[in-house]
Amino acid sequence: MPVRWIPGRDAQANSYLFGDVLVDAGVLPMAVERYKDQISTIILTHGHYDHTAYLKEIAHMCSARVCIHTADAEALFRDEISLANHFGEHSPRIAPDQKLQGGEVIGGLLVIPTPGHTAGSICLYSEEEHLLISGDTVFTDGACGRTDFPTGSAAAMEESLMSLQKLEVEGFYPGHGEPVDHGGAMQIAAAAVLCRRGW
């Protein structure tokens, strides 16, 4: 099943469509509107505002249920945790329909907890397709997400990257930047090395 990339603009994070699952909701609703009848679930990779800015509008437009890891659920209501105040905005103020723990499979995507960028950061993995949607855990330039925001942890990030290296990853779809269709495991390995070196 192909992943459809919905690019983020400026400070917006990328969104991705995999089957009936939309991953992240920082893009403008008009970018998602053409897929509204397809989307039944929105999974948030974490609670930062650039990934959740239009969550309320998109969830309403698609009549979609909202899922986020339990450790990041409060970011949907607290500006200082979502970093909405950095954008001069407010958190979306919408309660999730499902608080994730990790290990769930939703729309063919396995929820993998990857704390580090935030306590409730997750990645989504398709074993069948060998693809990873990584949020802000790791990017295609071999970098990992910042760990100096509220609930972030450099030690947790290093552990998360080590766990991701155990996966067979070809297609790689980050929260920011361009995705790649092949060689995703190399991006993860590079980020793990840099993280261990403290870069």
Hey, which residues does 18 pair with through a beta bridge?
3, 21
Q: What is the mean pLDDT of residues 159-167?
A: 95
- pLDDT reported for residue 198: 64
Give the H/E segment covering residue 67.
Answer: strand 65-69
Q: How many domains does the chain have?
A: 1
d(CA 45, CA 24): 6
Give residue 199's pLDDT band: very low, low, confident or very high (50, 70, 90): low
pLDDT per position as a tens digit, 111-160:
999 999 999 999 999 999 999 999 999 998 888 999 999 999 999 999 99
- pLDDT reported for residue 82: 97
Pairing between β-strand 109-113 and β-strand 105-106 as defined by DSSP bridges? antiparallel
What range does the domain containing 142 cover? 3-197
- CATH code of the domain covering residue 39: 3.60.15.10
CA dihedral (156, 161, 167, 171) positive or negative: positive
- pLDDT reported for residue 23: 98
The SS3 of residue 63 is coil
- pLDDT reported for residue 118: 98
Give residue 194's pLDDT band: very low, low, confident or very high (50, 70, 90): confident
What Cα–Cα distance (Å) separates residue 103 from each residue in 32, 111, 112? 27, 5, 6
Predicted TM-score (pTM) of this structure: 0.96
Radius of gyration of the chain (CA): 15
98, two tokens: 């499902």
- 164 pLDDT above the threshold of 90: yes
pLDDT per position as a tens digit, 33-90:
999 999 999 999 999 999 999 999 999 999 999 999 999 999 999 999 999 999 999 9
- pLDDT reported for residue 100: 98
Q: Mean pLDDT: which of 7-11, 68-72, 145-149, 191-195 is highest?
A: 68-72
d(CA 81, CA 9): 22
